[in-house]
Structure 1
């Protein structure tokens, strides 16, 4: 008979449900900030069914700011051009930053580097533990869990984050709606060998009634995703390699000599989004909050960016210095992003599924013409990669507020902004060497702010959030006026400053 006991979350102020990429990045961020956290994962030895292969440029920048991008890049293949609709090529080499490409690598490699970082930082991962009950009050969250042996216990934490996927138990226990629809049914998956590997790292083809996607694992195995408009059985129906060959030949003109399938499956692709990412002390992130079509490879990337947004805000709240409304800003900033990605990926999928030949020809003509125009090409690449994502800024704010911070060169060490972000603090990038400003930032907000001198010629001073977005900026050059503006911005974003020692100068 199952036993019950009640205790605080083991070693944790934050409970995270789900050890996929979203939960692992969040755990690593919290642990690196000194927040005790525990991930509860239902799976034990069951492998995670890898569906994500694309790691986009903005996600790589976030990983770079955590010191793990290079490790991941070594596992995959950078692709600087994406072929869409057969003859349409989207050039990603126009993107700014260190990663002008999409990295093609299996999801299990992304999970590996994130898991290693989380564990090294002190996060705890508990496999074989299933969430079965959930409640909250003004002071915390209680989670009833069932362990592998059947025993139940109740854990208490300050906050809980559901990063447990499209069939989220957390979302279900909160009784939250997940409105949307199924857009593609009975998508087939297979891991195969190929006698005739494709030329491109990512191969996509669609002819209206058939769609196929091929990507390498890097070890001689390939993931094939295929869909047949005329045969859409239940997701539980077995997948036969002959059917995937037939659909792939229809979509790509060849089956690439696929053979020796080691694994096959089916799934339904939905477009859904929960109305609220926060319910009291409980948050939803990744596929638990939003799910998109596979077109554009957005799903895992958006989930990782959810975690990057939420992690530092939870850490600030638990440290006691978060400004009012900071936790609410997670929903305010990320919900519109999820909605926009849902629309873009859905539009791309529907464009690929056009059935009449005349419409497919028109689609190709329009798309090819559009990507030949440099501003359009850059805008599309920026949207797909996440580089151009910006959060709302208050009226009258500097033009850079809310935008991605470029990885600017810094004077001294570290030599780049994203290296300076690796300790999880805000970075105040000052335009000129001003000892008074440096003293202000490092002595009054020592646990929250790092001061760095811009390495190039610039008049802009910017306060960069821990997630790599610009919180505030100014072009003011008058020292006294600039110092007052910086002090106001630091107080707004980083809370009340630490008291000065009695022997320190004031002003």
Structure 2
């Protein structure tokens, strides 16, 4: 019997599975698809915070050469967001197709011993005080916990009766994979003109992915689509269609804004698109799901190894507000792009440029867009560092902090006795002595900071479980 069953072998499920397996947890992934990695994925941008999480898993330096790095992102007209100021090893947006991310995460999960079962549709589940039983066409499987990372149409979400409130924001968005006669001047080309918008980004194999939307022509997702329609809308939004030709794929989809009220229902959790879906603006969908997985994985591992069950409630407390914030920010971008009047568009551009010229506002916007700026709530009286993202410190031993996190353990920056927790905590003096003890969680956020060893031990018991004295 697996300790955790994950439903869905997309990026969210694969990162979660790899984390658990590397932490010594027995994990099985159930995937209704046949196991072929598709190139039809919609996600194209990997933000800085996600790259930091991949760095903590030894994957970022492999992924970055697979794409193009953008230090400035143009939202519409002359409005640019400068990511080059981010306090990160990755001060840019990486443009690379989702399947490159999936490939690396799949390779890691299999190497760690994850069992992936394909053609395994979830037909239902039941749970009791000791575990969850999942029903598939091949029979029943049981685990202590189940995570639904099975996307917008999540069978797990439906099985636990979680509603998915929200609405459709854009209908009949066109997608096309094409070759072009004229290479775009910018790596990421996007603009909205009120009644239409278009987005063009490279696959890296000679093809470009085009997203296009026309307010004047809203049809069902299964309505026929030809290249001439994509060309026309792209020319309207961008002034050119770049001579697109030879489409290898054409399709339509609709964009919703939805979020479940609860990410946890007993022993069942929801993550990624099963828990929240956003407009494509800002490219935050896949990134938010990967952050969900990074947050949940170490908590499940800790509880399965003796940490208090209440630790799992912090997944809802920490990730639900982030999902809600992404809904708001991505929704604001898409609504701005949909302003119809010329006067409104001019005002939009002026207001955005003025706001971004204010350092405090620019920092907040880049922090939200990249994921760098999010922090988690801390208990009353906790040190101000608790809940904040840990920067990639240089440690006295020569490693960076995010290299140390690759062991899937907590990292204590400072010198203190962690007898009984050596298997779960790596102690690292900082390169520059002094300052408080800082306990960094496996997901790269500060879990505790202070000066007292007794307080540190209480924090470790709550976050990692009781000490084991051999």
Per the normalisation by structure 1, the TM-score is 0.91
Q: Is the 8 A contact 2:258 2:277 kept in 1?
A: yes
Q: Does structure 1 residue 470 correspond to structure 2 residue 446?
A: yes
- Distance (whole Å) between structure 1 residues aligned to residue 35 and residue 135 of structure 2: 22
- Tell me if the contact between 2:302 and 2:465 (Cα under 8 Å) persists in the aligned partners: no
Structure 2 counterpart of 1:429, from 405, 410, 413: 413
Q: Distance in 2 between matches of 1:242 and 1:303?
A: 34
Paired with 2:366 and 2:413, the residues of 1 have a C-alpha distance of: 27
1:309-351, Cα deviation, whole Å (9 max, x unpaired): 110111111112x134101111111111111111111111000
Q: Provide the residue aligned with 1:367 in structure 2.
A: 352
2:363 corresponds to 1:393: no
Distance (whole Å) between structure 1 residues aligned to residue 397 and residue 27 of structure 2: 34
Per-residue CA shift, 1:55-100, capped at 9, x if unaligned?
0000000000011111111111111000111211110000012100
Q: TM-score, normalised by structure 2?
A: 0.98
In structure 1, what is the equivalent of residue 208 of structure 2?
A: 222
Instruction: Provide the C-alpha distance between the structure 2 equivalents of 1:487 and 1:282, rounded to a whole number of angstroms.
Output: 29
Number of the residue aligned with 1:283: 269
- For residue 341 of structure 1, what is the aligned residue in structure 2? 326
1:72-83 equivalences under 5 Å are: 72-83=63-74
The Cα offsets for residues 421-442 of structure 1, whole Å up to 9 and x where unpaired, read as 1111111101xxx4xx2xx21x
| Residues in 2 aligned to 1:291 and 1:190: alpha-carbon distance in whole angstroms | 21
Q: Deviations over 1:111-144 (max 9, x none)?
A: 0000011011111111111111211111111111
> 2:37–2:99: 8 Å Cα contact kept in structure 1?
no
Query: Which range is displaced more, 167-176 or 387-396?
Result: 167-176
What RMSD in Å do the two structures reach over aligned CA positions? 1.2
Q: Distance in 1 between matches of 2:308 and 2:198?
A: 48
Where in structure 2 are the equivalents of 1:75-474 lying within 5 Å? Answer: 75-146=66-137, 152-320=138-306, 322-413=307-398, 415-430=399-414, 434=415, 437=416, 440-441=417-418, 443-474=419-450
Counterpart secondary structure, 1:93: helix
Give unmatched runs, 5+ long, in structure 1: 1-7, 147-151, 477-481, 502-507
For 1:401 and 1:141, locate their aligned partners in 2 and report how far apart those are by CA, in whole Å. Answer: 33
C-alpha distance in 2 between matches for 1:87 and 1:112 = 35
Distance in 1 (alpha carbons) for counterparts of 2:284 and 2:41: 14
Q: Secondary structure at the match of 2:396?
A: coil
What's the CA shift for 1:24? 0.3
CA distance in 2, matches of 1:87, 1:494: 48
CA distance in 2, matches of 1:319, 1:394: 24
Q: Residue 35 of structure 1: which of 25, 29, 32 is its match?
A: 25
> What runs of 5+ residues in structure 2 fail to find an aligned partner?
none
Structure 1 runs (4+) deviating above 3 angstroms are 45-48
